[in-house]
Amino acid sequence: MDQITEFSESIDRSLQFMQDLEHLMLLETEVLASRDIGRLQPILTEKQALIERLEQETGRQKQWVEGAGHAFTPAGIARFFRELDPSARLSNHWSTLKEAIERCDRLNHANGLLIERGRKRVAMSLRLLSGDDGQSTTYDPHGRPSSSKHRSRTLSRA
């Protein structure tokens, strides 16, 4: 098997892993939005396994690129493709993989925001239960937050 075919197959494997990861991240979004946390652990486990496979495949790709005397950077990879495959088939294939990576990155960011919103919701609930009405923060003359000395009664004291 020639190097172009091997590298192309490696990109295909990476692309399949990324598509699988994208599917899992969409499921993760659904689970986070529905707050059905019981469904989250299997998704996270499978996600971790996919990420490990992606890292292994990326390591192989890095070895090929660096073995040909190029840095594993966008510029080095572009030179590697020009040398190895003047038809630009690999370069086009690589672009498809990069697009999948960018979609997963956006999903990861969006899921992170969902998690942060959930964390803030829990923190607010805990503050309310402890008697902090959430309105007690004011600002000093320098614009820095300043907690009010007057606190609401806790639920247990009410």
pLDDT of residue 151: 47
52 within domain boundaries: yes
Instruction: Look at residue 150 and tell me whether its pLDDT is greater than 50.
Output: no
128: containing domain: 3-133
Is 100's pLDDT higher than 60?
yes
- Whether residue 151 is contained in a domain is answered as no
CA 67, 73, 76, 82 dihedral sign is: positive
Mean of pLDDT values over 50-69: 94
The number of domains in the chain is 1
Q: Flag whether 24 is in a domain.
A: yes
End-to-end CA distance of the chain: 77
Q: How far apart are CA 58 and CA 12, in angstroms?
A: 12
Tokens 């007690």 sit at which residue?
136
* 89 domain residue, yes or no: yes
What's the pLDDT score for residue 130? 77
Domain-located, residue 116:
yes
Of the listed ranges 8-22, 45-59, 69-83, 143-157, the least confidently predicted one is 143-157
Q: Label residues 22-52 b or e (16+ Cβ within 10 Å = b).
A: bebbebbeebbeeeeeeeeeebeebbeebee
CATH number of domain containing 16: 1.20.58.300
Evaluate whether residue 75 is within a structural domain: yes
* pTM greater than the 0.75 cutoff: no
> Higher pLDDT residue, 138 or 66?
66
CA dihedral 60, 112, 96, 43 (to 10 degrees): 70
Decide: helix, strand or coil at residue 150.
Answer: coil
Name which of 158, 138, 133, 134 is nearest 148 in CA terms. 138
Average pLDDT over residues 99-105: 94
| Domain presence at residue 67 | yes
CA atoms within 13 A on the CB side of 18: 22
Instruction: Quote the CA–CA distance of 101 and 51 in Å, as a whole number.
Output: 12
Q: Is the pLDDT of residue 113 over 50?
A: yes
Report yes or no on 157 lying in a domain.
Answer: no
DSSP 4-55: HHHHHHHHHHHHHHHHHHHHHHHHHHHHHHHT-GGGHHHHHHHHHHHHHHHH
